[in-house]
Amino acid sequence: MLIEGILIKGYAGFYYVFADDRVWECSLRGRFRVKKQDFIPGDKVLILPGVGNKATIEKVLERRNSLVRPNVANVDQAFLVFARKTPDPDYNLLDRLLIQVGKAGLQAIIIFTKADLTEDLMDPFHEYYRACGYTVLNVSNKTLQGIDEVKKMTQGHITVLAGPSGSGKSSLLNCLQPHKEQKTGVVSAKIGRGRHTTRHVELIPIEGGLVADTPGFSTLYLPEMKREELQLYFPEFEKYKYLCRFKSCLHDKEPDCAVKEALHESKILSSRYKHYIQFLQEVIANENKH
């Protein structure tokens, strides 16, 4: 009897598949001619159970989507992990990630870690992103504050973690599945961030869901798109843009722009608008290259 599962990692010639609530060590059928690189974590497969935890992969099902970094298939959502402190949140990077995740058609959940390092319960930035429609969670991997809520969000989904080095992604994963330790790093005192302790890609089974850790990064190029498309990833512009004088308004140098008016009335966060203009220039520069 074939059972359906999800490939969680390839390692030393074996493929590990999560199916029926357990991990199977799988090999490929002899007649099964699929190149190694055709499999990535997240791929849905049909396996034939053998002795013990051994099985063979009989078929790979079609992918719904796949990400390049991390290289995972059939992803439902991304946890964008930033620390409230050490290192300070890089909102430019967050806004870039929101665009990348939105363009890939994934749900973005913003998670601020290290809540134990600050006394402020409320952060105006968090409220702003919430008002934009994103889920924003505050957690501490030290006191476990907010961890249950994160756990709930992973149920039934394939989730990838993304965010700068040292923001606490691996620590968060450790809190979600306390039995299997991920390597976490020490934040360098000099630069205030971690040292890229996470390398390989693997989906980790946690109660009811699968999560991929990712090495941290600090720069991120925007995906290719037309200049008009960029504003779709700034949902807070939506209600103003119909009031701009020009239908094609890019909210940059055009006169009678309702988005800029909203900015001047502090209804739009100045850092968001600043990033929008910076990203717009990048998108336009990219357009000209093609």
Ligand X SMILES: Nc1nc2c(ncn2[C@@H]2O[C@H](COP(=O)(O)OP(=O)(O)OP(=O)(O)O)[C@@H](O)[C@H]2O)c(=O)[nH]1
Q: Which stretch binds Zn ion (CB under 5 A): 59-67, 123-131, 170-178, 242-250?
A: 242-250
Give the binding-site size for Mg ion (rule: CB under 5 A): 4
Figure out which of the listed residues 1, 68, 186, 285 binds ligand X, where binding follows CB under 6 A: 186
Does 126 bind Zn ion (CB under 5 A)? Our answer is no
Determine if 167 is a binding residue for ligand X (CB under 6 A). yes
Rule CB under 6 A: say whether 169 interacts with ligand X.
yes
Closest CA to 123 of 159, 180, 166, 82: 82
Q: Should residue 170 be labelled a site residue for ligand X when binding is judged by CB under 6 A?
A: yes
What ranges make up the beta strands (E) of the chain?
3-11, 14-19, 22-28, 44-49, 54-60, 77-83, 107-113, 135-138, 158-162, 203-206, 209-212
**CB burial string 225-250: b at 16+ within 10 A, e below:** bebeebbebbebbeebbeebeeeebb
CB of residue 244 to ligand X, shortest distance in Å: 40
Tell me phi and psi for residue 147, to 5 degrees: -65, -35
- Binding-site member from 257, 268, 269, 283 for Zn ion (CB under 5 A): 257
Q: Give the separation between CA 156 and CA 207, rounded to whole angstroms.
A: 9
Contact (Cβ atoms closer than 8 angstroms) between residue 73 and residue 104: no
**Pattern 17-56, binding to Zn ion, x per CB under 5 A?**
----------------------------------------
Binder to ligand X among 100, 140, 154, 159 (CB under 6 A)?
Answer: 140
Does 139 bind Zn ion (CB under 5 A)? Our answer is: no
Q: Which amino acid is at 23?
A: V
Let me know: does 167 contact 113? Beta carbons within 8 Å: yes
Q: Closest CB to ligand X among 41 and 194?
A: 194
By CB under 6 A, is residue 142 in contact with ligand X?
yes
Interactions with Mg ion, residue window 159-178 (CB under 5 A): 169-170
CB 19 within 8 A of CB 3: yes
SS3 124: helix
* 73 near Zn ion, judged by CB under 5 A: no
Q: Is 240 in contact with 262 (CB distance < 8 Å)?
A: yes
Residue 249 binding Zn ion, by CB under 5 A: yes
- The CA distance from 277 to 270, in Å, is 11
Q: Using the rule CB under 5 A, is 259 a contact of Zn ion?
A: yes
Q: Nearest distance from residue 196's CB to Mg ion, in Å?
A: 8
Residues 30-59 that bind ligand X (CB under 6 A): none
Residue range at the interface with Mg ion (CB under 5 A); choices 44-52, 83-91, 119-127, 192-200: 192-200
| 149 interacts with ligand X by CB under 6 A | no
Whether the Cβ atoms of residue 55 and residue 49 lie closer than 8 Å to each other: yes
> Which residues make up the interface to Zn ion (CB under 5 A)?
244, 249, 251, 257, 259
> Which residues make up the interface to ligand X (CB under 6 A)?
113-114, 116-117, 140-142, 165-171, 184-187, 194-198, 215-216
> Which residues make up the interface to Mg ion (CB under 5 A)?
169-170, 197-198
